[in-house]
Structures are given as structure tokens and as C-alpha cells.
């Protein structure tokens, strides 16, 4: 299970003056499901595009031992399929290119997608499901999802996630998805990465997150005493909520505060909020 | 079977799923010889990674609560002594949480004792 399928080494990429990737080092294993979060413009989509081989970095290397280009699937709402093709033709074309013997229509049937429809007439969610159907039959080793899940209605989202679960269970596919919350993806992601200014600032297993981050709630006028690392402060007129990271049990016990648990979405929000707060003060 | 996992909760999902299955067994809703839902089905119902579900199933198998067989899935085993032990530890855990809260609120040990007695007698 722990076979490495991608290694990214010191990858850098700029668009004009904007530095999108500022030296990325990361490895992904086979069968891993990764949530990639971070503020808008942090470099998430750019990194996915590099991993997909759609754009090339200015410097650094991306090694993909053991996966061929045709085993990589990439779904993005900004990506165009063959807009004028009917679904039938697209399936036929795709099956020939990727030598797919049997195309599974079950997801399409759930949405009553007719083969005679044109791709350009599909809604965003329908496109994603259709695209997933194409990819499922291709059985990719690596699937990259660029901010598509949060745009789906609850029914389509469930269809999509079920398709994803089938793929992971059947093919041991590595999935890397850009998304901002766990409420959209359930607990399918087992690893969470957070990016900031073209770098990773956080890389943890999702089950370990609650042990590493806690919060302390105080009255509005009070400030936190002692040497406790604060990532972000939620302020309201009634209370202050200090998000503590990295949380250390020893220091916490000594401080005497009551450390409470933080939900996974709060954690991601705090990292992004912490970034904006830092920028305001510098 | 009622399935419920809090995907936002800080409690690790593998722990939630394990507790959930054990509770089903302890309460008798899952009986000896019953099958656990297939890994993939469980993953879909709970919105979990199939690898997470597999890990939980294999751990339950290791602990002797279920038995996995290739092709026929995981079957619930009868392990009365283990289940009894588990029952005690689960209730103890709940009591500890309750006690911690009560003491934090400033109740004394006597207060808690009196409260418990009152509640038991009223039931």
C-alpha cells in the first residue's frame, strides 16, 4: 500500500511576477486520498495542473514512477471537454483512445443523461458526473479533482462520492482533491495539506488533526496568558476563541486553561484566517 | 441499523465506526452469524474512505469480535467474555466523563453520590 507514486522535488513556477509555486517538496503514496486546502491563490490548482502534466514547472522535478500519462485523470470546472460532441460520441472516442472495453453507464443513468445530448448542454454537476464516468472506465491510478465537489447539489455530490469510493476500493487509486471543507467530502480524505503562498504549511493525517490543534475560549476582554502558540483568534463581542497550534499537552496542562476540541473545517478556516491576520499586521 | 458518523467531529472516524459496530453487537442488534455490510457499502453509507473501513474491520477481526473470510465478508462472532469486559469499560468511560463534568461544575463527591441515588430510585 505504501508504494510511492509521485515525488515532487523543489518545484517552482511563476506567472509573470506572481510566484505560484515557491519550492514544493512532497510525496504521495498509492491509494492515498488527500485534501488540498488553502486560501484562493495559494497555488493549489497550479500544483494539480503540474501533477496532471498539463503545465510544466520553471524549475524542479515531478517524478511519477509507475504511472503512465493515460492513468492520470483530471476533473476541473474550468476544463473543456469536447463541447459539441454528443455523450455517445464522447464515450466512443474516449473508449477508443484509452482502450476501454466496457463503459459503465450506471452513474449517467442515475441522472437520466441521454446519449444524444451534447456536452455543452450539461449542467456543471452533470458534466462532472459524466467526466467521472469516462474516467472510472479508464481506471486511473491518479485522480485529480479541482474544486468541483462543493459546486454539486447534494444528490449529485452523493453520486460522485460513491463513484469515488468505488474507484478507491477497486483500483487503489490515489486521489488528490482541492476542496475547502470536510462537510463536502465526508471523511474520505485521509490526509490534509494546506498551502500558503505557493508552499505547504501543513501536512497531517486527518485523524491526527484534533490532537494537534485545540481551542481556548475566554471572555472578550481577556487575553491568553503564558506561552501558548496561537494560530488564529475568533473575536466576538462576548468571547474570544483562541485556536492553538501546535498544541502541546505539557504546556497546556501547566497553563490551566480548558482546551476544547476543534472541528476539522474550523481547523482549515483558522489556517486561512491566520494568514490574512498575519498579512494585516505586517 | 442506524448509521451515524459525525464527519466534522474531532473524534477520529475509525474510532467512531468501531464504537458504532461494537454498540450494535452489545445491544444485540447485530447477532452472532450476522454479516457486517461489505466494506464498500459501509464506506458509502458513512462517507468514509474504504481503506478506513477496511482497517476497522480487520482490527475487529484481530480482536475476535468478527471473523473475515475472503469472498463472504465479515461475520459477527460470539465472544461473551470479551463483550462483557467491553461493556464494563464502555460504561466506565461514560461515567468518567460524567464525573469529570460534575466535579468541574463544583459538585462534591457526596453531591454526585446523592444525585445518583436519587436518579436510581426515581427510575
* B91, part of any domain: yes
- Of A121, A124, A56, A59, which Cα lies nearest the Cα of A90? A121
Contacts with B8 (C-beta within 8 Å, 6 or more apart), sequence order: A182, A183, A263, A264, A265
User: With an 8 Å Cβ cutoff, are B47 and A188 in contact?
Assistant: yes
Asked if A165 and B11 come within 8 Å (Cβ–Cβ), the reply is no
B3 domain residue, yes or no: no
Can you give the pLDDT of all 282 residues of chain A as single tens digits?
578 999 999 999 999 989 999 999 999 999 999 999 998 889 999 999 999 999 999 999 999 987 888 899 999 877 666 788 999 999 999 888 888 888 888 899 999 999 999 999 998 889 989 999 988 888 899 999 998 888 889 999 999 999 999 999 999 999 999 988 888 888 899 999 999 999 999 999 988 888 899 999 988 888 888 888 999 998 888 999 999 999 988 888 888 888 998 888 888 889 888 888 888 876
Task: Please check whether residues B58 and B30 belong to one and the same domain.
Answer: yes
Distance from the Cα of A89 to chain B's closest Cα (Å) equals: 31
In a domain, B58, yes or no: yes
B17 and B60 together in one domain: yes
Contact A87, A111 (CB under 8 A): no
Q: What is the ipTM of this complex?
A: 0.82
Quick one: B65 and B105 in the same domain?
no
Q: Evaluate whether residue B5 is within a structural domain.
A: no
Instruction: Specify whether B60 is located in the same domain as B107.
Output: no
pLDDT at B3 over 70: no
In this prediction, residue B2 carries a pLDDT of 52
Peptide bond into A246 cis (omega under 30): yes
Same-domain check for residues B36 and B59: yes
Mark whether B61 and B87 lie in a shared domain. no
Predicted confidence at residue B92, as pLDDT, reads 93
- Residue A110's Cβ-side half-sphere holds a number of Cα atoms within 13 Å equal to 16
Tell if the CB–CB gap between A264 and B39 is shorter than 8 Å.
no
Residues B50, A210: C-beta atoms closer than 8 Å: no
Burial (CB count within 10 angstroms: exposed 0-12, middle 13-18, buried 19+), residue B58: middle
What is the number of other CB atoms lying within 10 angstroms of the CB of residue A236?
8
Question: What is the rounded distance in angstroms from the CA atom of residue B53 to the CA atom of residue A244?
Answer: 30
Contact criterion met (CB below 8 Å) for A216 and A259: yes
Q: What is the pLDDT of residue B59?
A: 95
Distance from the A50 Cα atom to the nearest Cα atom in chain B, whole angstroms: 25
Same domain for B99 and B71: no
Candidates A161, A168, A190; nearest CB to B47: A161
The number of domains in chain B is 2
| B48·A187 Cβ contact <8 A | yes
Question: Nearest-CA distance from A234 to chain B in Å?
Answer: 19
Asked if A166 contacts B27 with a C-beta cutoff of 8 angstroms, the reply is no
Classify residue B21: in a domain, yes or no.
yes
- Rg of chain A over Cα atoms, rounded to whole angstroms, equals 21
Q: What is the pLDDT of residue A150?
A: 85
Pair B39, B73 in one domain: yes
- Tally Cβ neighbours within 10 Å of residue B68: 16
Q: Determine, for residues A210 and B51 on separate chains, whether the beta-carbon distance falls below 8 Å.
A: no
pLDDT (tens digit per residue) in B23-72: 999 888 999 999 999 999 999 988 899 999 999 999 999 999 999 987 88
Residue B1, domain member (yes or no): no
Are A33 and B49 inside 8 Å of each other by CB?
A: yes
How many whole angstroms separate alpha carbon A166 and alpha carbon A136? Answer: 9
Predicted pLDDT at B1: 47
pLDDT at residue A273 in the model: 86
Q: Identify whether B47 is part of a domain.
A: yes
* CATH level 3 topology of A4-206: Rossmann fold (3.40.50)
Q: Looking at the structure, tell me whether residues B42 and B86 fall in a common domain.
A: no
Instruction: Give just the sign of the alpha carbon dihedral B94, B97, B102, B105.
Output: negative
Using a CB–CB cutoff of 8 Å, tell me whether A23 touches chain B: no
Contact B10 A261 (CB under 8 A): yes
Looking at the complex, does the CB of residue B47 fall below 8 Å from at least one CB of chain A? yes
Whole-prediction pTM: 0.86
Alpha helices for B6-122 (secondary structure H):
13-26, 39-46, 50-62, 80-104, 109-122
Q: Are residues B71 and B101 in the same domain?
A: no
Q: Is residue B111 part of a domain?
A: yes
Measured between beta carbons, which residues in chain A are less than 8 angstroms from residue B40?
A: 165-166, 169
User: Inter-chain contact B49–A190, Cβ cutoff 8 Å?
Assistant: yes
Same domain, B22 and B73: yes
Task: Tell me whether B30 touches chain A (CB under 8 Å).
Answer: no
What's the pLDDT score for residue A24? 95
- A145 near A75, Cβ under 8 Å? yes
How confident is the model at residue A1, as a pLDDT? Answer: 52
Query: Residue B19: pLDDT above 70?
Result: yes
Domain boundaries, chain A: 4-206, 207-281
Asked if B17 is an interface residue toward chain A (Cβ–Cβ < 8 A), one would say no
For residues A25 and A47, give the distance between their C-alpha atoms in angstroms, rounded to a whole number. 11
With pLDDT > 70 as the criterion, what percentage of chain B qualifies? 96
The values of phi and psi at residue A116, to 5°, are: -85, -10
Which domain range does residue B115 map to? Answer: 81-122
CA distance A105 to A272: 40
- Residues B69, B18 within the same domain: yes
> Over pLDDT 90: what percentage of chain B?
47
Residues A112 and A86: beta-carbon distance below 8 Å: no
Interhelix angle for B50-62 vs B13-26, to 10°?
50
Q: Scanning every residue of chain B, which has its alpha carbon at the shortest distance from the alpha carbon of A210? A: B10
Read off the pLDDT of each residue in B82-111 and give the average, rounded to a whole number: 89
A204: β partners: A192
- Chain A, chain B: beta-carbon pairs less than 8 Å apart: 61
| HSE (side-chain half, CA atoms, 13 Å) at B101 | 6
The grid coordinates of residue A150 equal 462543493
Amino acid at each position: 500500500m505504501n508504494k510511492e507514486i509521485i515525488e515532487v522535488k523543489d518545484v517552482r513556477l511563476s506567472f509573470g511576477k506572481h510566484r505560484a509555486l515557491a519550492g514544493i517538496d512532497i510525496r504521495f503514496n498509492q491509494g492515498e486520498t488527500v485534501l488540498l486546502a488553502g486560501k484562493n491563490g495559494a497555488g493549489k490548482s497550479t500544483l494539480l495542473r503540474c501533477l496532471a502534466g498539463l503545465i510544466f514547472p520553471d524549475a524542479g522535478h515531478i517524478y511519477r514512477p509507475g504511472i503512465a500519462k493515460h492513468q492520470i485523470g483530471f476533473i476541473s470546472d474550468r476544463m473543456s471537454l469536447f463541447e459539441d460532441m454528443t455523450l455517445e460520441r464522447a464515450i466512443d472516442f474516449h473508449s477508443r483512445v484509452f482502450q476501454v472495453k466496457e463503459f459503465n453507464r450506471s452513474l449517467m443513468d442515475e441522472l437520466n443523461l441521454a446519449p444524444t445530448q451534447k456536452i455543452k448542454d450539461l449542467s456543471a454537476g452533470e458534466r462532472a458526473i459524466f467526466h467521472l464516468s469516462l474516467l472510472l472506465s479508464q481506471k486511473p491510478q491518479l485522480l485529480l479533482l479541482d474544486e468541483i465537489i462543493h459546486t454539486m447539489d447534494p444528490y449529485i455530490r452523493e453520486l460522485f462520492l460513491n463513484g469515488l469510493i468505488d474507484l478507491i476500493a477497486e483500483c487503489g487509486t490515489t486521489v488528490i482533491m482541492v476542496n475547502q471543507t470536510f462537510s463536502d467530502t465526508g471523511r474520505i480524505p485521509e490526509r490534509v495539506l494546506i498551502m500558503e503562498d505557493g508552499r505547504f504549511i501543513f501536512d497531517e493525517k486527518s485523524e491526527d488533526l484534533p490532537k494537534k490543534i485545540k481551542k481556548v475560549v475566554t471572555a472578550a476582554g481577556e487575553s491568553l496568558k503564558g506561552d501558548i502558540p496561537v494560530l488564529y483568534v475568533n473575536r466576538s463581542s462576548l468571547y474570544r476563541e483562541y485556536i492553538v497550534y501546535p498544541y502541546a499537552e505539557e504546556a497546556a496542562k501547566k497553563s490551566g486553561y480548558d482546551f476544547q476540541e476543534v472541528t476539522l473545517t474550523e481547523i482549515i478556516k483558522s489556517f486561512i484566517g491566520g494568514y490574512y491576520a498575519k498579512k494585516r499586521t505586517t | 441499523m442506524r448509521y451515524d458518523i459525525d464527519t466534522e467531529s474531532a473524534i477520529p472516524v475509525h474510532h467512531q465506526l468501531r464504537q458504532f459496530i461494537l454498540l450494535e453487537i452489545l445491544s444485540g442488534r447485530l447477532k452472532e452469524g450476522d454479516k457486517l455490510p461489505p466494506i464498500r457499502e459501509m464506506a458509502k453509507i458513512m462517507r468514509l474512505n474504504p481503506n478506513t473501513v477496511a482497517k476497522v474491520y480487520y482490527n475487529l477481526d484481530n480482536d475476535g469480535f468478527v471473523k473475515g473470510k475472503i469472498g463472504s465478508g465479515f461475520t459477527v462472532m460470539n465472544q461473551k467474555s470479551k463483550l462483557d469486559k467491553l461493556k464494563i469499560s464502555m460504561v466506565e468511560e461514560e461515567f468518567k466523563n460524567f464525573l469529570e463534568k460534575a466535579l468541574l461544575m463544583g459538585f462534591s463527591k457526596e453531591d454526585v453520590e446523592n444525585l445518583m441515588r436519587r436518579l436510581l430510585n426515581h427510575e
